[in-house]
A = this chain, B = another copy of it.
Amino acid sequence: MIENYKNKILSFYKKNRRMPSYGEIMKLLSFQSRNAVYKLVNKLVDEDFVGKDSTGRIIPKKIFGEVKMIGLVQAGFPSPAEEELSDTMNFDEYLIGNKEATYIMRVKGDSMIDAGICEGDMVVVERTNTFPVGKIVIASVDGEWTIKYLRKRGDTYYLEPANKDYDTIYAENELKVEAVVKAVVRKY
């Protein structure tokens, strides 16, 4: 029963992008008094399902938009008892540092395949003015955009693919590092 309540609150949050008020929960769960809701919410707060403001308003807890995290594949899935203890994570927070400077790009070609970046993968990149040698970067070389490792020999920077079939790239005119690759996301 209480799980049902949680689900209804959760889907309200999903739909309206905010937590419901006590009155709204009352209608949502077909209660007759807001006080019934008040008592219910206090229990949900104890359970850490939701939280409260300094003004008493209900605020979402971590569970909203988060996913349970397990150590290793080899460890298998936790029992329901262990599940309570398992960590949760949120991809947006995990993957995105500086929101303003972050972009998502889709990868074409297999020049980075040995680094585990395949055609069609999405890369999370963050714009930069630095030259982070050794990292995977988005660079524009003589007007062309690519994703490669940034290397340095002596005073000159160059780009190195992660695929034996491709050659390293030296800029004829200009090599500009536009962004650093922060993460790779592939969906099946």
Point out residues on A near B: beta carbons under 8 Å: 16-19, 53, 57, 59-60, 65-77, 89-92, 94-96, 99, 102-108, 113, 116-118, 121, 123-124, 127, 135-136, 138, 140, 144-147, 178-179, 181-188
CA distance A184 to B67 in the complex (A): 14
Least CB distance from A77 to B in Å reads: 6
- Could you show 22 A-B contacts with beta carbons less than 8 Å apart? A18-B18, A65-B92, A68-B104, A69-B103, A69-B104, A69-B105, A71-B106, A73-B106, A73-B107, A73-B138, A73-B146, A74-B145, A75-B105, A76-B140, A91-B91, A92-B92, A94-B185, A95-B187, A116-B118, A182-B187, A185-B185, A185-B186
Residues in B with CB closer than 8 Å to A95 are 91, 185, 187
Which 8 A-B pairs have CB atoms at the shortest separation, nearest pair first?
A91-B91, A116-B118, A69-B104, A184-B186, A183-B187, A116-B116, A76-B145, A73-B105
A97 nearest CB across to chain B (Å): 10
Q: How far does the alpha carbon of A146 sit from the alpha carbon of B75 in the complex, in Å?
A: 9
Q: Is the CB of A135 within 8 A of B70?
A: no
Q: Among the listed B57, B77, B184, which residue makes an inter-chain contact with A178, where contact means beta carbons less than 8 Å apart?
A: B77
Q: How far is the CA of A73 from the CA of B136 in the complex (A)?
A: 13
- A99 CB to nearest B CB, Å: 7
Q: State whether B19 touches A18 (Cβ < 8 A).
A: yes
Collect the chain B residues with CB atoms within 8 Å of residue A102's CB.
Answer: 67-68
B144 touches A74 (CB 8 A): yes
Q: Which residues of B contact A187 (CB under 8 A)?
A: 94-95, 182-183
